[in-house]
Structure 1
């Protein structure tokens, strides 16, 4: 505030004058201390922003300036008088200094009141801001808690769905196994009936000898790739895995990496041929068992 600086200059001048004054030393020292405290209060007021409340403060500063101007005029007049005049006016001078001290002290208290009000307003504003921040933090915490609850419920739902899906998969596997067993029993029965009705084939003649099984399987390779059905391929894969001719990774690779039927057949027969005579013999036997008509066309039985 611009009005404070000139007042401080007057006050600092008065402090110097009171400190130099030789008569009424106690009173002058007391006044100098009072004005020093007043200057500190004015300095504190300079750092505040009074906003709309500046007019009452300006009125108070104007009153203070009048008191300081009066004190300065008194000191200058008093300093110019001779010692004899001061002697006769000593009592009146002391009363004047006492009155001046009281006026300055009253003005200091009034300014301190303004300072306290402004500081209290700042504290109130700071408290309001802090309360707003705390409220925001509380709302954020509530939102985070709500999100955590949603995530927890979602995880529970996902776990429940996973369990249900797992149970369904198990049931489907059981059904597939049962169907495979039914198909195998039906095909085996058909083969036996056909052999009995023809009266021409014996079980021991159905399988080629170990010595020529690789050559025979290699010989029928083209016709096998062209004519074998997808269902028979799947049955052969299951049987050969059960016989440990093929492992699970090989069976999965044939099924997953070869979408076309012919590709599955080509990879399967090549893989079995590479495993030797016993593996080739087992594949021929399983082929005769699952598809005797096709096997007869290939010359296997």
Structure 2
């Protein structure tokens, strides 16, 4: 797999940028946070003087909480002057940045993303759906623009890649270029075992108790090929929303023999719910396409959406939509 040439208009926009606002998706993960931080570092090396990191949050995942204070949740009015370049990373649809979408209206926007489904937006787009993470795309930008990847940059680029690939577990055959890119980051000083410990360790006991409560409520459909789990407001109060174990839940349920798809319905507030959709490597179900039908997006194996519908409506829609796709 060969990464695409960086278009000159994008390279020139980055080289000439004097002021930038970098935004990632709501409920950020490691790839999102590290893409924002790595882009800030790249721009600083290219000479950008003013750079703001913004994210609507919440910062639920324990492995990213150390970066929470690096981001603002709203864009100050003064940052909208002097024609800043807005760089949106790891988002396939504009609504994935939450309320920040209205705060960047009218500003020139560059989108850097690797998701395979969604609704195109932005004035400039650098999108490569075969990349396993957005940080790998940013690593490609570092190389193309001739910026050295030192230990600081390498740490964040590797962390984003590692979280989006389940620490290499989602990489299939014929993708040696990804391992070679990862090897370059290790040569720059990254310790893979330390990254793995940061990804998987440091969980409070409440996170494991939350996982146990969710597993106890698994609903099975289509002879166990589809599993659905719905969290509750009581869960969030009892265990803490910040301890919601989404990744651990997906990994546990997809490890069950015969499971082709997992649906995780998460409460946000009284009007919205968040959907997490995952399919197994052997499944023909494209969860990115399913999420797209609900206004979301993602990859064929991992996707999500935020919807303003009742839980029962969403459940019925999804279970009906996949009925013909079950092997």
TM-score under structure 1 normalisation? 0.19
Q: Which has the higher strand share?
A: 2
Q: Which has the higher helix share?
A: 1
Larger C-alpha radius of gyration, 1 or 2? 1
TM-score under structure 2 normalisation? 0.17
